[in-house]
A and B are shown apart, each in its own frame.
Chain A
Amino acid sequence: MVGMTGKEYEKEQVFTLFKQLVSELEGLFVFRGEKYRCECMKGYEEGLVVDRLAYYDLRLKEIFVCEKNLLQALTTYKVGESCERMFILYVLLHEFVHYVLDFLGFGPVLIRLPNSVRFDEPFSEYIALRSCIEGRLRIFGYVKEIHVKEDEKRCVSLFSTMYRPAPYRYFKPLYASQENLLNISAEVIFLKLVRMFSRIPAVNPDPIAPSRLFLVGPPKELDLKEEKRYKKLIHKIPAVRILWCNYY
C-alpha cells in the first residue's frame, strides 16, 4: 500500500537508495562522491522547496544533494517507504532540469529574474513530476526511460498535493493544466515566458511580475521552430556530476 507514514529516516538507507538511482540513471548523472562543505539552504521555509534538498550549482555545473535536508523532508512530509525512491527520483529530476536549462543557455535570462517569477522552478517541478508519472524523462525532445513501477506512480499525486511556496506552486496553472488540458506543450510555454521576460527589464521587486507570468498566450508557429533548435542541441547533453553533501 502506497502511503505516508511518520517514519524517521536513516542516512544509510537513503544514501543507498540514492546511489542505486544514480546508477540506474546512467547517462543523466555521474556520481562524484561525498562532500563535506556545500551551500545547502539553511533555515526553515514553509512548504516544500526542492532546492533545499538538492541544488544545481551554476558555477560548478554540478548537483549537490543535501543529506540532512533530504532526510528531514522525508520525515516532515511523511513519505512512506514505498514512495521513498520516487521522492528522491523527483528531487534528482528537478535538479537535472535546472542543469538542462543551463546547458541550453537559459541561465542569464533566468538569473536576473526576481525569485517570485522564476518560472524555471515550476517548470522543473512539472517536468520532474511528469517524468515520474510517465516513467521517462522528456524534455525538449530528449527522452530517457526511467524505471517506475505502476504502483509507485500513485506517489506522484501525494507529492503534487504537498504545499509549496511561490514560484514552485505555479507548476499547475503554468504548465500542468495547459499541457494536460489544452495540449500546449510545457516547453513551448516555457519558451514563450523566456521571450516575454527577456523583453521586460528585470526590476526587483517588480510588483506586476507574478501576474505577467499567467498572461502567457497560446503557442504560435515561431515557438515550435524555436523549440526544434533546442531539440537539436539537447541531444549532445553530457551526464551531470552529482555529489552527496554530508555536512554544511
Chain B
Amino acid sequence: MVQLLLKDENFHLAYDLLFTLKFLFKTELSKRLTFNDVVRKIEEEWENILSELKQHFDYLKGKGLTEEEVDKLFGHIISQVDSYNVSNSRVERQIKEDVKKILGDKVQHEDDIVKNIAMLLPIYSKFYRIKEFNIYLGRILENLDKVAKAGKISYVKKIFNVLANLRLNKDLSPKHMREFKEFINWMEKPLDPSQLPLYHFIILLRLDPVKMIDIVRCLDFLVKHDYREFYKITSILSNIQLWRKFAMFLFLFTHIIKRGFYANEVINEIGHYRWKELEGPISIELLRYFIILLSLRKITNMRLALGLARSFIGERGYSETIHLEDFCRGLLNIQKYGTDKQVKRILSYAYFYGDLDIIIKLGNLAEAEGSLKKALNLLRPRI
C-alpha cells in the first residue's frame, strides 16, 4: 500500500471550521482573516441579529400582538424562511397568507406587520443559518476544546489562518470545498499501488507522504500564479476517474516545491501546453518530468535535470517506463557515490552531449563497485 498524505486531524478541524463559515456567510470572507477574527465576527453577527430581532418583536408587540403570538409567528416564519423567494414581488402576499394562517383573519395593522416581516427576512434567514451552524460549530468547538486541552490549539489556528487567507479559498464555493475534501480524504487513505500511475517511483525515490496543508499550498501556488484557474482544477476534483493522476501530480509537485526547486522555472520549462493538461487527463509524460527532477538531491543541478528530463522525454517517448526507472536509479547512484563536482560534471556531459545512457551505465557500475571513481576508471580504454 502507498500513502500519499499524512493524516492531520488539526487540518480537518480547521478546514471544517472554514467550510462551515463559508456555508454560513456565503459571501467572501474578508481579506486578512484570522481564527480570532472569525470567532469575534460570529459573536458580533449573532448579537446584531438578536438585537434586530428584539426590535422587531417590540414592533410587533407595539402593533397589538401578544408575546405568545409573536413566538408562534416567529417560529412559523423561521420554518418557512427558505421557501420565500425574496426577490419575488409576491413574497408579501405569501407572508400575508402565513400571518393569516397563524393569527387569524382579524389582525390589526396587518399590512404593517407583513411589511416589517418582509423587510426583516434576511435577518430571519441569518438567524436560521446561525442556529443551524451552531450545531456544527458546537461539535467543532467541542473538538477544539479537546485540542486546546492537549495544547495544540495554536496549530489549528495557524492552519486556519493559512487556509482562510489563501487565494484558493476565495474561489472555493461550498460545493467545491466538499469535492476537495472528498479528494483529500481519498488521498489520505492507504492506496493500492496499482491504483496510482508510476507508483514504484515513490518507493525508488523514497518520497514520504506529504502534509495536507502542503498540498493545499501547492494548489494555491498554481492558482495564485495564474497557471491554472481554480474552476478548471475543480472540474478534475468532480471527476473520480481523473483522481489518480491528479493525486500523483499534486504529490510530486508538492515534493518539488518542498525540495526547494524553483516551481515557476519548472513550469516554464515544462511548457504551457503541458499545463493545459490540468484541465483534463494528465499525461504520464508530465509526471515523468517531476520524477526525473526528484531524482536529484540538490537544487543546484535543477536546470541540468530539467534539460535531462526534456532530452529523456523527447528521446524516449511515452512507453518505456522501465528505462525511466533505470535512468532515475542511475541518477540516484551517481549522487550516492559521487562528489557534488563529479555529479555536476557527469550531468553536464550527459545533457550537453546527449549521452543519457552514461547515466545508467555509470550508476550501475558505481553501485556494483561501491565507488564512482572505480566506475569511471572502468570506462578508460584498456591499451
Q: Which residues in A have some Cβ–Cβ distance to B below 8 Å?
A: 1, 129, 133, 153-154, 156-157, 160-161, 171-172, 176-178, 180-182, 214-218
Contacts and interface: CB of A to CB of B under 8 A. Distances in A.
Query: Which 4 A/B pairs are nearest by Cβ-Cβ distance?
Result: A161-B354, A180-B349, A160-B354, A217-B383
Nearest to B382: A217
A215 B351 contact: no
B379 A181 contact: yes
Contacts of B345: 180-181
A181 B315 contact: no
24 contacts: A129-B352, A133-B352, A157-B354, A161-B311, A172-B354, A176-B353, A177-B353, A177-B358, A177-B379, A178-B381, A180-B346, A180-B348, A180-B349, A181-B345, A181-B349, A181-B362, A182-B376, A182-B380, A214-B381, A215-B381, A215-B383, A216-B383, A217-B381, A218-B380
Nearest to A216: B381
Contacts of A1: 268, 271
**Which one of B315, B353, B355, B379 has the highest number of Cβ atoms from chain A below 10 Å of its Cβ?**
B353
A171 B355 CA distance: 11
A153 B315 CA distance: 19
B349 A176 contact: yes
Nearest to B314: A161
A177 B355 contact: yes
A161 B354 CA distance: 5
User: Interface on chain B toward A: helix, strand, loop, or mixed SS?
Assistant: helix
Given A176-B353, A215-B381, 16 more contacts: A157-B311, A157-B351, A157-B353, A160-B353, A177-B353, A177-B379, A178-B381, A180-B346, A181-B362, A181-B376, A182-B376, A182-B379, A182-B380, A214-B381, A215-B383, A218-B381
Nearest to A217: B383
Contacts of B363: none
A1 B311 CA distance: 15
A182 to B, nearest CB: 6
B330 interface: no
A154 B351 CA distance: 9
Nearest to B376: A181
Interface in B309-352: 311, 314-315, 345-346, 348-349, 351-352
A180 B353 contact: yes
Contact of B352 (A160, A182, A214, A216): A160
Nearest to A3: B271
Contact of B307 (A157, A171, A178, A217): A157
B355 A176 contact: yes
B381 to A, nearest CB: 5
**Which one of B349, B352, B358 has the highest number of Cβ atoms from chain A below 10 Å of its Cβ?**
B352
**Which one of B307, B315, B354, B376 has the highest number of Cβ atoms from chain A below 10 Å of its Cβ?**
B354
Nearest to B345: A180
Nearest to B357: A172
A57 B286 CA distance: 48
Contacts of B307: 154, 157
Contacts of A157: 307, 311, 351-354
Contacts of B382: 217
A203 B345 CA distance: 39
Nearest to B355: A172
Contacts of A215: 381, 383
B349 A177 contact: yes
B376 A129 contact: no
Contacts of B355: 172, 176-177
B363 to A, nearest CB: 13
A133 B268 CA distance: 22
Given A154-B307, A161-B315, A181-B358, A129 B380 contact: no
**Which one of B346, B362, B381 has the highest number of Cβ atoms from chain A below 10 Å of its Cβ?**
B381
Contacts of A180: 345-346, 348-349, 353
Interface string B289-322: 0000000000000000001000100110000000
Nearest to B348: A180
Contacts of A217: 381-383
A43 to B, nearest CB: 26
A161 B310 CA distance: 12
A195 to B, nearest CB: 13
A152 to B, nearest CB: 12
Contacts of B352: 129, 133, 153, 156-157, 160
A224 to B, nearest CB: 17
B353 A181 contact: no
Contacts of A216: 381, 383
A1 B267 CA distance: 12
Contacts of A160: 352-354
A176 B351 CA distance: 12
A177 B354 CA distance: 11
A217 B382 CA distance: 6
A181 B357 CA distance: 13
A63 B307 CA distance: 33
A135 B118 CA distance: 79
Contacts of B376: 181-182
A140 to B, nearest CB: 21
A50 B266 CA distance: 33
Contacts of B379: 177, 181-182
A179 to B, nearest CB: 9
Nearest to B269: A1
B375 to A, nearest CB: 10
Nearest to A159: B354
A85 to B, nearest CB: 17
A91 to B, nearest CB: 18
A161 B352 CA distance: 9
Interface string B275-289: 000000000000000
A92 B167 CA distance: 52
